[in-house]
Amino acid sequence: MLKIVLPTGSMEEATLKLFEEAFLKVLRLERSYEGMINDPRFSKVKLLRPQDIPRYVERGIFDLGITGRELLIESGLEDQVISVCNLPLTKNKVGFVKLVLCVNKRSKIKKPTDILPGSLIETEYPKITKDYFKQLGIKVKIEISHGATEAKVPDICSAIVELTETGRTLRNNNLRIIATIMESSACLIANPKSYQKFEKQINEIKDLLLGALLARDKVYLIFHLPKAKLKEAEGFLPALKRPTIGQLHDQPDWLSVTVVVPKDHTKEHEGVSTIILSLKIWEQRIF
What is the reported pLDDT for 255? 80
Taking CB atoms within 8 Å and a gap of at least 24, the contacts of 140-143 are: 140/115
Q: Which of 129, 164, 184 is the last residue of a domain?
A: 184
Same domain, 151 and 114: yes
Same domain, 146 and 89: no
Same domain, 10 and 82: yes
Same domain, 147 and 117: yes
CA distance 98 to 190: 24
Give the model confidence (pLDDT) of 130-174 as tens digits.
999 999 999 999 999 998 999 999 999 999 999 998 889 999 999
Note the pTM of the prediction, 2 decimals: 0.79
Contact in structure between 142 and 121 (CB atoms under 8 Å): yes
Q: Read off the pLDDT of each residue in 118-128 and give the average, rounded to a whole number.
A: 97
Q: Which of 127, 162, 184 is the last residue of a domain?
A: 184
Range of the structural domain that residue 29 is part of: 2-94+185-215
CA distance 83 to 61: 17
Same domain, 244 and 198: no
Same domain, 149 and 69: no
9 sits in the region (left: phi over 0; alpha: psi -120 to 50; else beta) called left
3-39 as b/e: b if 16+ CB within 10 A: bbbbbbeebeebbbebbebbebebeeeeeeeebebeb
Contact in structure between 281 and 225 (CB atoms under 8 Å): no
Same domain, 178 and 191: no
CA dist 46 → 56, 94, 173 (Å) = 11, 24, 35
Give the model confidence (pLDDT) of 91-116 as tens digits.
655 678 999 999 999 999 999 999 99
Q: Mention every residue, 6+ apart, whose C-beta is less than 8 A from residue 186.
A: 7, 11, 14, 15, 66, 67, 68, 69, 86, 87, 88, 89
Give the model confidence (pLDDT) of 227-276 as tens digits.
777 777 666 565 545 667 777 777 788 887 777 666 655 544 443 333 33
* Structural domains of the chain, count: 3
Coil, helix or strand at residue 272: coil
> What CATH number does residue 126 fall under?
3.40.190.10
Same domain, 173 and 101: yes
Percent of the chain with pLDDT over 70: 82
Same domain, 12 and 154: no
Radius of gyration, alpha carbons of the chain: 25
42-79 as b/e: b if 16+ CB within 10 A: bebbbbbebebbbebbbeebbbbbbbbbbbbbbbebee
| Sign of torsion over alpha carbons 19, 68, 104, 179 | negative
Same domain, 156 and 199: no
Same domain, 225 and 122: no
> What CATH number does residue 275 fall under?
3.30.70.120
Same domain, 17 and 84: yes
